[in-house]
Amino acid sequence: MKDIVTSVLLLTGAAASLLGALGLVRFPDVPSRLQAATKPQTLGLLLVLLGTAVQVEFESAATLLLVILFQVITAPVLSQIVGRSAYRSGTLRRDTLVVDELADPMARDDDPPGPTPRGGGGGPS
């Protein structure tokens, strides 16, 4: 029974990783590629590591569970950083976005600071 569960987990994880890799190559724009690079790849790795954890002793399985935890934590953060970098560099087509939550913060970051008002700055005059 343990071998069957392991086989199903490993094969499903490998299929999810393969579909994520195909999506990464085939999808046309950055947001959809980020989707393909994070969700199926993370699920695929999770399933492969769980399938491996079923077969090994408890100490090694605990290490694999830590790897799963770190992957689940870091993949969305890295995806956010890559997406924001693509947005800032202009490689992301903003006209295709349904909701553009970065437009206002980016406009504020791009505005040059104006002259400071006299008398209220608190610094040396």
Q: Which residues of 22-50 are buried (b: 16+ CB within 10 A; e: fewer)?
A: ebbeeeeebbebbbbbbbbbbbbbbbbbb
- Residues 22/27/29/31 CA torsion (nearest 10 deg): -70
Q: Which two tokens stand for residue 2?
A: 């343990």
pTM of the entire structure?
0.68
pLDDT tens digits in sequence order for the chain, 125 residues long: 889 999 999 999 999 999 989 988 898 888 888 888 888 888 999 999 999 888 888 888 888 888 889 988 888 888 888 888 887 887 777 777 777 777 777 666 666 555 555 555 555 54
Instruction: Name the nearest CA neighbour of 48 among 2, 3, 7, 76.
Output: 7
